[in-house]
Amino acid sequence: MSGNSKASLDLRVPDELWLEIFGTLRPLDVIPLHTVSRKLHRISRSLLFQRFHFHLYAVSHNSPPEPRYLLPDEAQVERTTERLRFWASPDIAPLVRQCTVFPWSSNSDDIEYTHCEEGERILATFFQLLSQFKNVRSVTFLDVTFCHAWLSSLAALQSLEQLHVSECSIDPNLDVSSASIVMKLATFHFYHSAFSSMLNPTHGANKWLSLLDVETLTHLSLAPERAPSALIGSAAPLSFPNVHTLHLSVQEWHEVVQLRRFPSIRSLEICAGRSAPVTTGIKPVVLSQLERYTGPAELLALLDPKTCPRYIDIRSLSGSSFFDMARNWGPAHRVTVLALELEHLEAGILPLVLDRWTSLVKLHLKIEHRQWSTPPGVTPYTEQTLLLDLGSASNPVRFPDSLTSLFITWYYELEESPIPVADVISAARTAVPLFVAANPNLKNFRLYMSQMKYAWGRADGTDSVVESDSDLQHCVWDHEMWYAMRELHDE
């Protein structure tokens, strides 16, 4: 390639492609691109300034009348304000797409934070300059108490699509019903811990919901333990007609009836207290558009049979408990992707489970052995015995003919596996070829332990096997599992 061709390469490649490539780089790796050409200088500059992190204040959680916000010394305050004004300048602010506002720990970075009657002034300056960030798409706040003026500044951002508030609250003296503030967001995430707040977190969620334009909202996450109660108050919207992705925490199963406010849900994640009993007498909830469900198996019994998600991720049950919950669930035969997190897997249960799930394409079993979770008298599978059963000619475990991917993750909470890694690999070498021959549509089989991986795959008619023994580090295993889960979950 000639020198002129090299020099003109950046001119011939579209900006969108450069942004896609450079977006994978760390900020320090982007800086040298400034000297390559004017075009790459402009493109890389936009990447360097697309994320703004504002975090030079601290928060006191002590009771009033002690001031809530703590500040460093006056010189540090001036430097922080100067930095803020730089980011809000006409040349930089339009480049910002994401903004994060959160406090430092008062013990970090050798900076001394002290109580100050004017502790809100840095945050007040931030909100005064917020209108300069005309292209910001996502804003995240941690531990901020919002007044009317600050909420108005947020609502005035025409480009804002995503708002994440964690441990935040609204001034208890502010009547949001008469505040005339409407936020046109696509995504709203609310989290508040009941143990770290002087304000009722549920009441806070109720206030936030009353500020949202329900017509524009498509993604909603309410993580407090009593979040559904926020949907009951008079200030809460009656319906969220366009929300298709919902994350909700519940404590009592009767709270599930609040799902009726979300008629367009396609993806649902439920977090529930383990002690929550299954409530009888609840009219089944119809979620006719639901495609993906993540959460406890108990919820399946509370859904109308017309609700038939194709992807299900069940959290933390014994194999027998899952079978008891799911054996009478009508739509099981329509599910194509199933992920099960089991506290133990006893022999004889897996065939009963698979007998109901006849259309599975992808299956992930995550078995987490805990000392307290195996009932007396129950003989749980080990990695070795499960493999030997899979490869046995008289194998009682029959998988659906449609199955293409099987991932098994084995984890011991407080101890190493009682089966030596070498014995597990030996069992895999014997059993997997026999299992694959009996399941001709299978393309991926992976077995993961904390220090072992056995992966078989078939592509273009060619089989490949990857083995890793005790030399596999935990961090590598976690990295591998992340990609395995992504592959399993992708449609």
- For range 364-384, the mean pLDDT: 75
Question: CA 11, CA 466: separation in Å to the nearest integer?
Answer: 43
| Cβ 421 vs Cβ 470: under 8 Å | yes
Task: Quote the pLDDT of residue 213.
Answer: 93
Task: Quote the pLDDT of residue 481.
Answer: 47
- For range 242-264, the mean pLDDT: 87
DSSP 76-118: HHHHHHHHHHHHTSTTTGGG--EEEE-PPPTTSTT---EE-TT
Task: Quote the pLDDT of residue 195.
Answer: 43
> Is the confidence at residue 3, as pLDDT, over 60?
no
Q: Where are the beta strands (DSSP E) in 132-182?
A: 138-142, 145-146, 162-166, 169-170
> Is the confidence at residue 302, as pLDDT, over 90?
no
Task: Quote the pLDDT of residue 424.
Answer: 86
Question: CA 71, CA 77: separation in Å to the nearest integer?
Answer: 7
> Is the confidence at residue 477, as pLDDT, over 80?
no
> Is the confidence at residue 287, as pLDDT, over 60?
yes
Question: CA 341, CA 271: separation in Å to the nearest integer?
Answer: 14
Task: Quote the pLDDT of residue 479.
Answer: 44
Q: What percentage of the chain reaches a pLDDT higher than 90?
A: 23
Task: Quote the pLDDT of residue 274.
Answer: 53
Length of the chain: 491
Question: CA 339, CA 354: separation in Å to the nearest integer?
Answer: 12
Task: Quote the pLDDT of residue 205.
Answer: 79
Instruction: Bin 370: left if φ > 0, else alpha if -120 < ψ < 50, else beta.
Output: beta
> Is the confidence at residue 233, as pLDDT, over 70?
no
> Is the confidence at residue 423, as pLDDT, over 80?
yes
Phi then psi dihedrals of residue 321, to 5 deg: -65, -40
- For range 103-113, the mean pLDDT: 60
Query: What's the whole-number average pLDDT of the chain?
Result: 78
Tokens at 79, concatenated: 């430097």
Task: Quote the pLDDT of residue 116.
Answer: 65
Question: In whole angstroms, how far apart are CA 108 and each of 68, 79, 153, 453, 467?
Answer: 18, 17, 30, 40, 44
Q: Which of 6-20, 234-248, 346-360, 425-439 has the lowest mean pLDDT?
A: 6-20
**Most confident among 11-20, 62-71, 89-98, 278-287 (mean pLDDT):** 89-98
Is the torsion defined by CA of 128, 129, 133, 138 positive or negative? negative
Which amino acid does the sequence have at 486? R
Question: In whole angstroms, how far apart are CA 135 and each of 88, 218, 297, 342?
Answer: 12, 20, 42, 45
Count of other CB atoms within 10 angstroms of residue 249 = 20
Task: Quote the pLDDT of residue 88.
Answer: 94
More confident of the two residues 272 and 372: 272
pLDDT category at 402 given cuts 50, 70, 90 is: very high
More confident of the two residues 47 and 488: 47
> Is the confidence at residue 118, as pLDDT, over 70?
no
pLDDT category at 277 given cuts 50, 70, 90 is: low
Task: Quote the pLDDT of residue 202.
Answer: 46
More confident of the two residues 6 and 393: 393
| Cβ 356 vs Cβ 381: under 8 Å | no
Crossing angle (nearest 10°) for helices 38-48 and 15-22: 50
> Is the confidence at residue 484, as pLDDT, over 70?
no
Distance linking the first and last C-alpha atoms of the chain:
41
**Strands 114-115 and 362-369: what pairing?**
unpaired
Question: In whole angstroms, how far apart are CA 451 and each of 81, 149, 332, 407?
Answer: 49, 54, 34, 16
pLDDT digits (tens, 9 = 90+) for 142-190: 888 898 999 999 999 999 999 999 888 888 888 877 778 999 999 999 9
Q: What share of the chain is helix, strand, coil (3-state, %, to 5)?
A: 35, 20, 45
- For range 344-368, the mean pLDDT: 82
Return the DSSP state at 280: S
pLDDT digits (tens, 9 = 90+) for 57-81: 677 666 554 556 777 777 778 888 8
pLDDT digits (tens, 9 = 90+) for 438-474: 888 999 998 887 677 888 998 877 888 888 765 444 4
Half-sphere exposure of 345 (CA within 13 A, CB side): 24
Task: Quote the pLDDT of residue 126.
Answer: 93
Task: Quote the pLDDT of residue 380.
Answer: 76
- For range 402-406, the mean pLDDT: 92
pLDDT digits (tens, 9 = 90+) for 196-226: 443 454 457 778 888 999 999 999 998 866 6
Beta-carbon contacts of residue 200 (< 8 Å; ≥ 6 apart) = none
